[in-house]
Amino acid sequence: MNYRKVVWLVRKDLREALGNKFVVLPMLVLPLVLCVAIPALLVYLGLELGAIASSGAQSLERLLPLYDIPGRLVDPVERMLYVFLNYTMMPFFIIIPIMLSGVIAANSVAGEKERKSLETLLYTPLTNREFVLGKLLSSFVPSMTVSLVSFLAYFAVTNGAWYALRGSFVLEAVSWIPALLVLSPAASLMALGATLLVGIKAKTFLEAQQSSALVVLPCIVFVAAQLGGLVVISPLAILAAGVAVLALDYALIMRVAPRFDRERLISTI
């Protein structure tokens, strides 16, 4: 395998992705809303105005016995915010790489069909393995980069606001480690594989993107189950979920790879 060719394909796809507003806007807006605006607003409203207790968020109170909350947090609002910011927000850092992987992968296959550039690419001296690896990396690398940067922004904004108002930090759950290092990449690969599978047949970027959005549904169910107390987030549970999703990723990518055959792809253009 010629990795220089793979790097060339990744760079080409990234240039095209960054030139598409339908790709760039989700990469900017989604992290800003989920990782900066929402946590900063929650911390301010909760700690300064006590609004969380009067807005229906007290439903989180039944989750408090399920989690290990630091003893220094005795105020009910602080305890609810701790659970929300450390555990309820965690699935959103699975949704971010899923959505971004789907958008970028849709642009790299179905988008190229729409722009009439895929056929030219298929006649380049890239092997099928180089082509598949390049398409995987061109979506996986930026989606995970944005996801990790988003968490750093979330960590800085949330802990910064909490420290300014209470003189301590709030984001300290150990579950963040397997969530970011195992489950988040696994979820990104799952969305990527599903989008590439759809993108082979899809004729337009929007068609592939809409079809791949179904991958987000399990995350929404997970959030609902966690809020209902049916699922308790812990490092071991997150690690087990990550390993299970990685197994699904392997099966999905093994299904996708043979379909990236030149003759098969050209026939769908």
pLDDT at site 232: 85
pLDDT at site 35: 85
Rounded percentage of the chain residues whose pLDDT exceeds 70: 81
Please, what is the average pLDDT of the chain?
80
pLDDT digits (tens, 9 = 90+) for 161-208: 999 988 889 998 888 999 999 999 998 888 888 887 777 776 666 666
pLDDT at site 182: 93
pLDDT at site 176: 92
pLDDT at site 243: 93
The model carries a pTM of 0.82
pLDDT at site 28: 86
Closest residue by Cα to residue 249 from 182, 163, 191: 191
- Indicate the pLDDT class of residue 25, thresholds 50, 70 and 90: confident
pLDDT digits (tens, 9 = 90+) for 109-167: 776 766 666 666 666 777 777 877 888 888 898 889 999 999 999 999 999 999 998 88
- How many residues in the chain? 269
Rounded to an integer, the average pLDDT of 48-63 is 62
- Indicate the pLDDT class of residue 59, thresholds 50, 70 and 90: low
User: Domain-by-domain residue ranges, the chain?
Assistant: 3-268
